[in-house]
Chains A and B, each alone.
Chain A
Amino acid sequence: MQSHLALLATFAFFVSLVFAVIAKDDPREQLRFGGLMFGGFLASALVLGWLMYPFPL
Chain B
Amino acid sequence: MRATAAEETQSGTLVLLCLASWAIPGAGHLWLGRRTKGLIFLVALPLMFAIGLALHGRLFPFDLGEPLVGLAALADLGIGVPYFIASSLGYGSGEVRAVTYEYGNAFLIVAGLLNLLVVIDAFDVAMGRK
Interface residues, chain A, with chain B CB atoms under 8 Å away: 1-2, 7, 10-11, 14-15, 17-18, 21-22, 25
**Among candidates B47, B48, B117, residue contacting A22 with C-beta atoms closer than 8 Å:** B117
A23→B119 CA distance, assembly (Å)? 13
| Given contacts A18-B41, A21-B37, A22-B118, A11 and B99 within 8 Å (CB-CB) | no
Count A/B pairs, Cβ under 8 Å.
Answer: 37
- Which residues 53-90 in B have Cβ within 8 Å of A in the complex? 55
How far apart are the CA atoms of A11 and B110 in the complex, in Å? Answer: 9
Residues on the B chain within 8 Å of A10, using CB: 51
Question: A11–B118 contact, CB under 8 A?
Answer: no
- Which residue of B37, B40, B106, B130 is within 8 Å of A11 (Cβ)? B106
CB contacts (< 8 Å) of A22 on chain B: these are 117-118, 121
Q: B45 to A11, Cβ gap below 8 A?
A: no
Inter-subunit contact A21/B110 (CB<8 Å): no
A18 → chain B closest CB, angstroms: 5
A21 nearest CB across to chain B (Å): 5
Assess whether B19 is interfacial by the CB under 8 Å rule: no
Residues of B with C-beta under 8 A to A17: 40, 44
> In the bound complex, do residue B44 and residue A11 qualify as a contact, i.e. CB atoms below 8 Å apart?
no
